[in-house]
Structure 1
Amino acid sequence: MPLTGVETARMNRKKGDKGFESPRPYKLTHQVVCINNINFQRKSVVGFVELTIFPTVANLNRIKLNSKQCRIYRVRINDLEAAFIYNDPTLEVCHSESKQRNLNYFSNAYAAAVSAVDPDAGNGELCIKVPSELWKHVDELKVLKIHINFSLDQPKGGLHFVVPSVEGSMAERGAHVFSCGYQNSTRFWFPCVDSYSELCTWKLEFTVDAAMVAVSNGDLVETVYTHDMRKKTFHYMLTIPTAASNISLAIGPFEILVDPYMHEVTHFCLPQLLPLLKHTTSYLHEVFEFYEEILTCRYPYSCFKTVFIDEAYVEVAAYASMSIFSTNLLHSAMIIDETPLTRRCLAQSLAQQFFGCFISRMSWSDEWVLKGISGYIYGLWMKKTFGVNEYRHWIKEELDRIVAYELKTGGVLLHPIFGGGKEKDNPASHLHFSIKHPHTLSWEYYTMFQCKAHLVMRLIENRISMEFMLQVFNKLLSLASTASSQKFQSHMWSQMLVSTSGFLKSISNVSGKDIQPLIKQWVDQSGVVKFYGSFAFNRKRNVLELEIKQDYTSPGTQKYVGPLKVTVQELDGSFNHTLQIEENSLKHDIPCHSKSRRNKKKKIPLMNGEEVDMDLSAMDADSPLLWIRIDPDMSVLRKVEFEQADFMWQYQLRYERDVVAQQESILALEKFPTPASRLALTDILEQEQCFYRVRMSACFCLAKIANSMVSTWTGPPAMKSLFTRMFCCKSCPNIVKTNNFMSFQSYFLQKTMPVAMALLRDVHNLCPKEVLTFILDLIKYNDNRKNKFSDNYYRAEMIDALANSVTPAVSVNNEVRTLDNLNPDVRLILEEITRFLNMEKLLPSYRHTITVSCLRAIRVLQKNGHVPSDPALFKSYAEYGHFVDIRIAALEAVVDYTKVDRSYEELQWLLNMIQDDPVPYVRHKILNMLTKNPPFTKNMESPLCNEALVDQLWKLMNSGTSHDWRLRCGAVDLYFTLFGLSRPSCLPLPELGLVLNLKEKKAVLNPTIIPEAVAINQEAANNPSSHPQLVGFQNPFSSSQDEEEIDMDTVHDSQAFISHHLNMLERPSTPGLSKYRPASSRSALIPQHSTGCDSTPTTKPQWSLELARKGTGKEQSPLEMGMHPVASAPLSVFTKESTASKHSDHHHHHHHEHKKKKKKHKHKHKHKHKHDSKEKDKEPFTFSSPASGRSIRSPSLSD
């Protein structure tokens, strides 16, 4: 029997381990989404939503929901009209009049704006007033039904329309639309509670053209056609409580494939791609079986849908019971390279169905648990599918990535909350963005966050065992399954939310182990460990003296105290030792088990039990040590720099069976270019049982060693004879055999060796002629006719090899390069590239891999001075309409050109693309590329750095990217890379950096360059009734009246005084500025207690929509008007400002005449100003809902 409203409320308010205290004064139990009109031509959507909520407090009179971009027509609660207000402070973070241009200020204001509409803080953009007729109903905690009519016109985020501009109907053109976005972005396409912690059941209805298919979450209950058979409505029911953030939609003329192995799984793709879809998804049922087996739990939903779409936001997006993939992942059985990548994407999305969609998170600070678990079980799948070597190589890769990122940026914090539940004031002061909310995070930081989360899960597994780990996951899933079946007891649904404390409690209950120290080390604090190791062998004591130092003072590092495993390979076998790393201990004595006995011939046992014969002639006669490894199992997030002799690295490479050890030794051998290193690497290349990735790394290491040994190298170029022996005809060594890629290991080696060989250089630092001829022959005699696999990736690598062979041009008398005077070798390379590009037009390769390689090769020729540097070709390939990989490669070249040639025109072209390109992924990638390869950085002088560029980028991140969190955070990253945290150096200081009070001989800082913390406090002081989300906006014109004004003559007379004070003109974020605190005349500007943005007192927002900012209530003198360039403002603001300035002349003269009387009447002026602003505040602000024309005046709303 359903509970009454009062019981539901009481249940929902229960606290404790099992419950979850909602930040909202109501509980959402069910939501209907109905989209009854989708227009592909206009890119518009019309529909309504209906939310069923139970109040949990008796005096509920305001309901806050999330909605961005949507035009709200009408709101009704229980069929009564309800007044509503829409206010989104993230549309424009800092008001356009603000002269602030430093990033610290922006980041604080942005974090405040995001918090102001954060559903996890009980906020939202849409605030609905409960009609007074329902107050009694609310006091009894009875159910409310909120009905909202809305439309969406040309959305810039949340929903993405793909409408190809070709002939035919929308279905024939392959037009489709799908939901997308980063983290909780559902608010972009319908009003909802956009929080991962607010679960409810769903009814989803979509009316589309008869030729279209609508795919959404849950079970398809029925499809109903209209009378004229031109439209049909898809009805979906999702009975498992799900967060709005996990709701998705895809509509298009999809081809449908029911999985032949699992009938509850359905796949969808765009027209004509069905054969590729069949092959790509043929493996999915095995992933299902693996996850269900290890978790001992059935897949939680009754169905699963995969949809492959074009222009995807990300390659994989997981939502409740469905995942949206990029259509570029589809491939045929002929393609080798894409197969493992696509399978990994499918497995990733399925792992997130269990942890991420079915089990959701309580708050943002618990995100690491879900990302960690899904990443961890995906790793187990990888180990089972691709083998232990591939798995360990992946772990090593991920570890290297997180270590490099943390050492570069200063640390990734998984859980930005203390154990006591108090939020840290500024948990990541080293970063240029706030980590308290997903929407303020840099995309790269979030990627690394996910990487660290699954590595930490692996550390937990090392501590408690895999068996217990899987039991914990099973327990979480079992509790969630039980809770999800409680249809009428929504208080139980909080069992479907995971929290850090709940997860740790499960671990403690299941394993009985305390992992608190581990959590404190890796989850509650950021940073990785940096070890430096060296050793000496004490022959008398037969002891290995190991010295391990730590660097814990550099950014991104932390101190490690605890166990550390060391593996020592001796003559008698491999021995593990666990050292205890203490506070100050550096040296550790490890007893050796073997005596030095080189003269006795005996097989040497390895770690895996295998016994091998070794040539021990290279080793130290007095020492039984073959090699030493620190932390071989990667059970600490660390970077290890270990010193051992070159012969030890060579033994480790040849005989250690762990791929991570082999990769480490290859990296170390780069520093030892000796014949012995050359031989060890060649041996590895010839060993067929060696892991293919290790052999590929060995190719590049061998090329580096050959270049270092160029003067003493004997014989043919490195790898040439080896390649000839493995892949060329016996009778004619310069002709490669017909392609046969049946052995994937050989295939990867065959396409890597020429690329590495092309990096070889002779004594003149040129690629040897023999190597270039060899690569050109490989291309010439390439024959794929009898091969069952495509050779497109192989041919692309041959072009990469040609590019690698290019060396800088030697120009005589600055001659201009033309086709006639090209170096003959370069001419051959250019001819091959041109031929490949032309062939691609006729017979395009899979994913246009060859075009991509050709574009990169042309850029290499340009950079080396062989062909004129010109971005025109790349710009034509970067246009919308080309395949996305081609566009990215072309854009990479334009970004590089912008940096090398310092071209302002190309930079502008790129920035215009960021604003106007139709594909969100491309816009994101351009920002990413500019950040990684910037045209200039904050520490260098550049002609590109100017005021217009600062304003353009500021506008982009301030208001130009409000529709896409990822894009806005990307713009912030770029701004930080170019200009740093403080005021950009290229901005001119305002004309008067110091305003002088000549009587007291004091200099006062101009309000436009006040430090940000001060500016924020000033705003709070000046405008106590402002919206909380607008705290942090500083009006440059305010408080200017409090200073003594000076006319221009006085200014000219005081030039000497200004130059005397020039050394005080520092940049705005310099902490030292506060020491120039002025006398009492400016005490309103710089308060005595300096607080940050977060601690500003916030007041209840007024019930009005600010269409135009109110005037400051103060007028400026012409001098001050000259000091501040007029900001572009909305028309309504402009007219107010201009009427104010009409009186400013008169005001200035009046003020100048009475300068002497001013002090006497100062308090009167202030009193008058207060009175003026009161009058102004009384003026009622109105706003109208754009569609209905209803105008709501603020007095009727404020009770």
Structure 2
Amino acid sequence: MTDRGFHVAHQKVSIDVNLADHSLEGWTELTINPLEHLKIIRLDSRQCDIHSVLVNGRKTQFYSEDALRNAKMFKGSNVHQHHQYRNQLEGLMQPTLQGDLIVNIPKGFRFMQDTSSTGVAYHPITLKIDFSLRDPKTGVNFVGGQDSNIRKEFWHAYTTHSPIGQATSNWIPCVDGLWEPCTWQIEISVPRTVGDIMKKKDNSNNEETADAVSKDNEMNDNDSEDDDNEHDNNEDLEILVVGNNTASSEIAHPFDERKKVVSFDMFTPVSPQHIGFAVGAFVQTPITPNDDDDDEMNDKDDNSVPIYLYTFPHQVNDALNSCAFLHNCLGFFTNEYGSYPFSTYSLCFVNDLETDVASAMGLSLCSDKLLFPPQLIDPLFIHSETLVIALATQWCGVNIVPKSWSDLWVTIGVSRYMSNSYLRKLLGNNEYRFRLKKRAQEITRVDINKPPLAAPQLNFPLVEEDLSFLKLKAPLILFILDRRMTKTDRSLGLSRVLPKLFLQAMSEDLSNSCVSTAQFIRLCERVSHNRLDSFFDQWVFASGYPIFRVTQRFNKKRMFVEMGIRQVQNSEVGAPVMDKKDFVNDAKAVLDSDPVYPVQPIFTGPMTIRIHEADGTPYEHVVDIKENFTKLDIQYNTKYKRLKRKKNPPPAVPGAAGASAQMGDLDDMDGVLLHSLGDVLQSPAEMKEWNLTDWTEEQEERMVNEAFEWIRVDSDFEWICKLYINQPDYMFCSQLQQDRDVVAQYDAIEYFKAQRPSQLYSSILVRTLMDRRYYYGLRVEAAHALVEMAVEDTDFIGKTHLLKAFQVLYCFPGSTIPRANDFSDFTSYFIQKAIPQALSKIRHQGVCPPDVRNFLLDLLRYNENSSNEFSDSYYVCTLIVSLVNSLIKSQNMTFDDDETTKDSAFINKVVSEIDRCCRLDGWIPSNQNMVTVTSIGQKERLVLEGLCDPSFEGVIQYTRKGNNNDVRVAAFQYLLDLGAIRSKALLHYALTTSTKDSSVYVRNRLIFGLRTAIGLYAIRGTGGSRTQKGGAQATGTQGGAMMVIDGKGNAMAQRQEALARSSVKGAIELIRKEFESENQFKQQLWMAINDRHYGIISKRILLDICQVLYKAADSFIVTLPTPRPKKLVAKHLGQGKMVIKREGRLKIQILSVKGANGTVKKGKKEKKEKKEKKQPKIKLKVKAL
């Protein structure tokens, strides 16, 4: 937070939005409370043209230091001077802005001291600034316009809120950031209707307007008459201004009858970062409570907060389908955490938004990609979470902001913890816990040498993608914090903390509605009545996670279960994961010498151990982990012999896979019947048909003699860790089949997946897959675990079970021909997607078996969806990905000519089938043309793996305007990854598109794509391709084609290179060597950096790429022209004759010297001058380094 010597108390904004020429024009008035006698006032303003500034009505001088606009390098500079260019933008790459617009206080201006105040205070002063803005690159996005082919009814504009803390100052002068909240009054002038957009107030149509209208009409020449009539009716659509609906009003424009003025008054102080609006021909649709909402949600009819959706007319039904649950969600948040902080909530779905959601006060600007019709299944589980997070961000993220960047984890974590709580109610407890478990597992994969949550290494200016790790880890930390608080302290946990936090914000106990990490810790300790220093020191102020190895044995003499828990993270922590998308950022951190955060040697805290003893009763024991090794003696409670287990009567499996098990007659059984999952396919006939294996008599005898069924460590999910327990496999089988916790079942599947393959394990897993009583996510995991059982030692039993499962569930009886799709059962739909994915991962000697390949090809070829009420877009994409997965060979595989010929023929079939899907997607588009996007990405994989040649001509057509933006981005990524960087024409085309294209989404994605391509080259090597047939490697050439390099080089050198690329530092050294000679890339990259069309985020990424690829060189090349030593002289000899000759500019005459005998001697210099006349011209150029 920068101290500028004043605070902004109120700001009024009046702007006129011109959708036709992408411009804003207006004025803003700031009411400032000085804290001292000011000589200058620094405001943040970029891109805007400032016309005049008044201080208390007096005109004053001002000047702008727009670094982005003024940055300029000297002639002859190159990429090695990237650090000098970065220094010019240093002010924009800081945590807080320093002020770009400097306003001088007028001479003689007196600051009047406020005598009514107890401290030193001054009367407020007002600044009025007239400004205009045209073709903004950041802050505001215009879609459509007179130079576009988009129909006028779809023209719209909106604020982007990116980069974080610097967005608003790109369209109005203000004190930007998160920490200068004030009250606001905003007036926006817009046309009344679509037909009024390009009409002048004098009702005259100039030539420019007529041309634009005729151009707009030309697009519909081939439309039907009904379409023309609809287009005419669209001229009457009203232009709406969407903002915070608190105290909004609409009046006629005072000077132009074709315009109106919409105003919003915001009496709650809010930072400029969260001031936003959208203008367009939107339709307002309210969300009403559903009839099946809970009664407690409907008891507050008078106090309910209205929710409005703003979309274009053709998107209303999709919006209602996508957001139907939001009213229920708002009621849940209100009941659980406190009242909604604003009076209304609006969601406006816009086109071409860079991120999924941009949050403002009482408003969420959402990408229209989040909308989906009822025919789509997958977005219901994906996009719903995004919309819930957007609503939760209104509580924590907009109404409450972090006190500093190091406190950002609090607001991110709280909003996502709130959303997870509602998703538990919406999707169920199994889905909730399964998602948390998968994300905890992802943290253990990526949280290696990462900075702590409370000390993030942020790359300013920030965008949403820079916060991905915080978004992943912060809500999980709050989840385990809640578990710790409710378990050990007998408190209500975060369900009591968060309402108190929001109450403090409403009562203004939080200064400027800012929350810090220290304040959050104090609040948690106050609620739990216990110190939490140890927890926050380990999980918030430090990094890493523990790895536990647990040993156990039963001591019959003492009747104790003896356990040992050892922390081994110091010796078993893996290497950091290298990702092509993150490589440039990771490399920059290494070059900047950012601190490295090693894992902690010891984590402490309570851990719950649950022992399921012989009588089937679970006994919980809470132990306190304090040291590196913890030895435990746990009392055994069962005093009698283990009861013998009886199997349930085998249930019917529908189509051989069936419903719930029948309990049978308990009176006729010797032991106790234990009802368990996975007890399908038990009859002898089914076991023979499925080739199933059961426990041997010896193993069953060992089971009977065990003292307990199974042990669970951390049964209450209080740790983010890796956990290894040495209990026998049959105990994990009992855990899988009898424990009701989805996390316990998932851990058991992971155990079988990691063990040595066996037919027994495959039988256990396929029974899990076929039992419909299991949660669908576990069945999906069981299908993927069966891949590990498909090895030669087990006679590929895993493959047999997967093929049999798909045949029974989805094919005609007794054949492998799939039935027509029926996705009415969502659980069955996800299993139908998972089995082909699993089959594609099976390998024998590095190759997917031919029968599996042909089976996957047939699934795609004969996919039938005509009678299905649901779309198969996601299913088709899954089949395409699975088919390409099956073609990928393991590394270091070589084949003879016959195998290569067969592979080439099959690859051609696969490529032809993918092309067919692309053509169908062109005729009948899938959602966001996702089939085409997937096809392009998978073709790229085939080229990178050396399985086919690139087709730049076939892909470049998808980069043209008119295609879906995601299709264009995928096509450009294909070009960049496969050689466009080394092709001058293709690279120039990509970079030109990143500056000139009308879509801000495409422009920004291209720069991100270039960064990803650099990461790919660094990790995989130049060209990024794998071994081709014959051991050759494909790489890009100057002409954009692919060059084949013999891969039969020094094997030792190849291994050394692979080892070097496994670390960030080694990859940097190698990629610098490879790109040092790429002069064309250097020139294009440096031209792009100096291009003024790029925004600050694009400049930051390009400079980061330069820093990674090229060493900085402090040099300044100066060229000094020198005069010619000779000049041309023309002499007229008469009679039309002329002689032109060179003559020295300076004539040096040497006096003759008489000798003693009276003769005249010529000097040596005169003789040398004659010789020099015969020498060729010499040009001198002096360069000062």
TM-score for the superposition, normalised by structure 1? 0.70
CA separation in 2, counterparts of 1:478 and 1:812?
69
Comparing both chains, which one has the higher relative contact order based on Cα–Cα distances under 8 Å and sequence gaps of 6 or more? Answer: 1
- Alignment match of 1:330 (pick from 340, 346, 371): 371
Give a deviation string over 1:250-283, Cα, whole Å, max 9, x none: 1222232233447832211135222222322222
Superposed CA deviations along residues 414-466 of structure 1, whole A, max 9, x for unmatched, are 323xxxxxxxxxxx7xxxxx54xx72568655211232222222233223337
1:267 aligns with 2:309: yes
1:155 counterpart residue number: 136
Q: Secondary structure at the match of 2:882?
A: helix
- CA distance in 2 between counterparts of 1:628 and 1:962 reads 62
Structure 1 residue 464 corresponds to structure 2 residue 506? no
In structure 1, the partner of 2:183 is 201
Letter matched to residue 240 of structure 2: V
CA displacement at 1:836 relative to structure 2:
1.8
Q: Distance in 2 between matches of 1:866 and 1:587?
A: 55
Q: Which moved more, 1:230-239 or 1:329-338?
A: 230-239
The aligned residue for residue 772 of structure 2 is 688
Q: SS in structure 1 opposite 2:162?
A: coil
Instruction: Say if 1:305 and 1:786 are closer, same or farther in 2 by CA, change over 3 A.
Output: same
Other-structure match for 2:1154: none
Instruction: Please give the alpha-carbon distance, in whole angstroms, between the structure 1 residues aligned to 2:14 and 2:1010.
Output: 36
Q: CA deviation at 1:685?
A: 0.3
Structure 2 partner of 1:746: 828
Q: Match for residue 619 of structure 2?
A: 575
Counterparts of 1:160-199 in structure 2, within 5 Å, are 160-163=141-144, 171-184=152-165, 185-199=167-181
Could you say which structure has the larger radius of gyration? 2
Distance 1:858 1:515 in 2: 52
Asked if 1:703 is matched to 2:678, the reply is: no
Which segment is superposed worse, 548-557 or 328-337? 548-557
- Does the aligned pair in 1 maintain the 2:288–2:327 contact within 8 Å? no
Aligned to 1:304: 345
What runs of 5+ residues in structure 1 fail to find an aligned partner?
1-20, 417-427, 429-433, 484-491, 988-1007, 1009-1035, 1037-1123, 1127-1136, 1144-1199
Q: Any residues of structure 2 matched to 1:438-457 within 5 Å, and which? A: 439-440=460-461, 445-457=466-478
> Is this contact kept in 2: 1:182–1:966, CA < 8 A?
yes
**Aligned pair 1:585/2:629, yes or no?**
yes
Q: 1:599 to 1:358 in 2, by over 3 A?
A: closer
Q: Is the 8 A contact 1:47 1:150 kept in 2?
A: yes
The one-letter amino acid of 1:383's match is R
Match of 2:605 among 562, 571, 593: 562
Distance 1:950 1:827 in 2: 33
Q: How is 1:299-448 mapped onto 2 (pairs within 5 angstroms)?
A: 299-407=340-448, 410-416=449-455, 434-435=457-458, 439-440=460-461, 445-448=466-469
- Number of the residue aligned with 1:755: 837
User: Relative to structure 1, is the Cα distance of residues 134 and 932 closer, same or farther in structure 2, using a 3 angstrom cutoff?
Assistant: same
- Partner amino acid for 2:274? N
1:477 aligns with 2:495: no
Q: For 1:1092-1115, what per-residue CA distance to the aligned partner results, in whole angstroms no more than 9, with x for missing partners? A: xxxxxxxxxxxxxxxxxxxxxxxx
- Would the alpha carbon gap of residues 527 and 860 (structure 1) be closer, same or farther in structure 2, given more than 3 Å must change? closer
* Bigger Cα displacement from structure 2, 785-794 vs 98-107: 98-107
Q: Secondary structure at the match of 1:729?
A: coil
Cα distance, 1:40 vs structure 2? 3.0
Q: How does 1:543-562 map to 2 (within 5 A)?
A: 543-552=561-570, 556-558=598-600, 559-562=602-605
Q: Any idea what SS the aligned residue of 1:702 has?
A: helix
Task: Give the superposition deviation at 1:52.
Answer: 0.8
Q: Deviations over 1:319-378 (max 9, x none)?
A: 101000011111111111112222212211110111111223333233222112111111
Residues 597 and 678 (structure 1 numbering): CA distance in 2 closer, same or farther, change over 3 Å? farther
The partner residue of 1:242 within 267, 270, 273 is 270
Aligned counterpart in structure 2 of residue 254 of structure 1, from 271, 282, 291: 282
Q: Which runs of 5+ in 2 are unaligned?
A: 115-120, 195-238, 290-303, 574-596, 649-671, 680-694, 1022-1066, 1125-1185
SS at match of 2:887: coil
Amino acid at match of 1:363: S
Structure 1 residues 616-651: Cα deviation after superposition (integer angstroms, max 9, x where no partner) = 628567643544444343423333355554444444
1:23 aligned partner:
3
AA partner of residue 497 (structure 1): C
In the alignment, the residues of structure 1 paired with residue 148 and residue 99 of structure 2 have an alpha-carbon distance, to the nearest angstrom, of 43
* 1:153 CA drift (Å): 2.3
Answering whether residue 16 of structure 2 is matched by residue 36 of structure 1, we say: yes
State whether residues 411 and 557 of structure 1, in contact with CA within 8 Å, keep that contact through their aligned partners in structure 2.
no
Q: What CA RMSD, in Å, does the superposition of the two structures yield over aligned residues?
A: 4.0
Q: CA deviation at 1:550?
A: 2.9
- 1:914 is displaced (CA, Å) by 4.9
Q: Distance in 2 between matches of 1:536 and 1:640?
A: 17
Contact 1:180–1:313 under 8 Å retained in 2: no
- Counterpart Cα distance in 1 of 2:934 and 2:271: 43
Partner in structure 1 of residue 123 of structure 2 = 142
Distance in 2 between residues matched to 1:512 and 1:234, nearest whole Å: 50
User: For residue 675 of structure 1, what is the amino acid of its counterpart?
Assistant: Q
CA distance in 2, matches of 1:380, 1:88: 45
Give the direction of change, closer, same or farther, for the CA distance of 1:578–1:893 in structure 2 (3 Å limit): farther
How has the CA–CA distance of structure 1 residues 592 and 729 changed in structure 2, closer, same or farther, with 3 Å as cutoff?
same
Supply the distance in 2 between the matched residues of 1:129 and 1:237 (Cα, whole angstroms): 30
The answer to whether the 8 A contact 1:654-1:680 is kept is: no
Query: 1:214 pairs with 217, 241, 253, which one?
Result: 241
Question: 8 Å contact 2:483–2:493 — kept in the other structure?
Answer: no
Going from structure 1 to structure 2, the CA distance change for 1:446 and 1:928 (only over 3 Å counts) comes to farther
Q: Output the CA distance in 1 between the equivalents of 2:56 and 2:169.
A: 22
Q: Secondary structure at the match of 1:63?
A: strand
| Number of matched pairs | 929
CA contact (8 A) 2:45 2:100 kept: yes
> Which stretch has the larger CA shift, 548-557 or 377-386?
548-557
**Which of 495, 499, 506 is the aligned partner of 2:523?**
506
Q: Secondary structure at the match of 2:51?
A: strand
1:923 aligns with 2:1006: yes
Residue identity (%): 25
Once the two structures are superposed, what CA deviation does each residue of 1:236-262 show, in whole Å capped at 9, x if it has no partner? 211221111100121222232233447
Closer, same or farther: CA 687–337 of 1 in aligned 2, 3 Å = same
* CA pair 627-837 structure 1, distance change in 2 beyond 3 A: same
How far does the alpha carbon of each residue in 1:768-824 deviate from its partner, in whole angstroms, 9 at most, with x for none?
A: 444344334434554334332222222222222322332559999989999xx9855
Residue pairs, 1:740-1139, within 5 angstroms: 740-762=822-844, 765-807=846-888, 823-863=904-944, 865-898=946-979, 914=994, 917=997, 918-920=999-1001, 921-923=1004-1006, 925-927=1008-1010, 929-930=1012-1013, 932-935=1015-1018, 936=1021, 937-940=1067-1070, 943-946=1074-1077, 948=1079, 955=1086, 964=1095, 966-968=1097-1099, 970-971=1101-1102, 974=1105, 978-979=1108-1109, 984=1111, 1008=1113, 1036=1114, 1124=1115, 1126=1117
* One-letter amino acid of the counterpart of residue 285, structure 2: L
Q: Give the TM-score, by structure 2 length.
A: 0.71
Q: 1:965 & 1:636 partners in 2: Cα distance?
A: 40
What's the CA shift for 1:585?
Answer: 3.0
- Distance in 1 (CA, whole Å) between partners of 2:95 and 2:911 is 56
- What is the CA–CA distance in structure 2 between the aligned matches of 1:653 and 1:413, rounded to whole Å? 35
The change in CA–CA distance for 1:968 and 1:377 in structure 2 (over 3 A counts) is farther
Tell me what 1:1157 maps to. none
Partner Cα distance (2:862, 2:66) in 1: 63
Deviation at 1:1141, TM superposition (A): 9.4
User: Match of 2:824, SS?
Assistant: coil
Structure-2 change in CA distance of 1:914 and 1:96 (3 Å): farther
Instruction: Map 1:513-528 onto structure 2 (within 5 A).
Output: 513-528=530-545
Q: Residues 76 and 806 of structure 1: is their aligned pair in 2 closer, same or farther, counting only changes over 3 Å?
A: same
Query: SS at the partner of 1:273?
Result: helix
Q: Is 2:306–2:344's contact at 8 Å kept on the other side of the alignment?
A: yes
Query: Is the contact made by 1:923 and 1:967 (CA closer than 8 Å) also made in structure 2?
Result: no
- SS of residue paired to 2:108: helix
Give the corresponding residue for 2:35. 56
Find the aligned partners of 1:627 and 1:99 in 2 and give their Cα distance. Answer: 69
- What SS class does the counterpart of residue 787 from structure 1 fall into? coil
SS of alignment partner, residue 32 of structure 1: strand
Asked if the contact 1:817–1:867 (Cα under 8 Å) also holds between the matched residues in 2, the reply is no
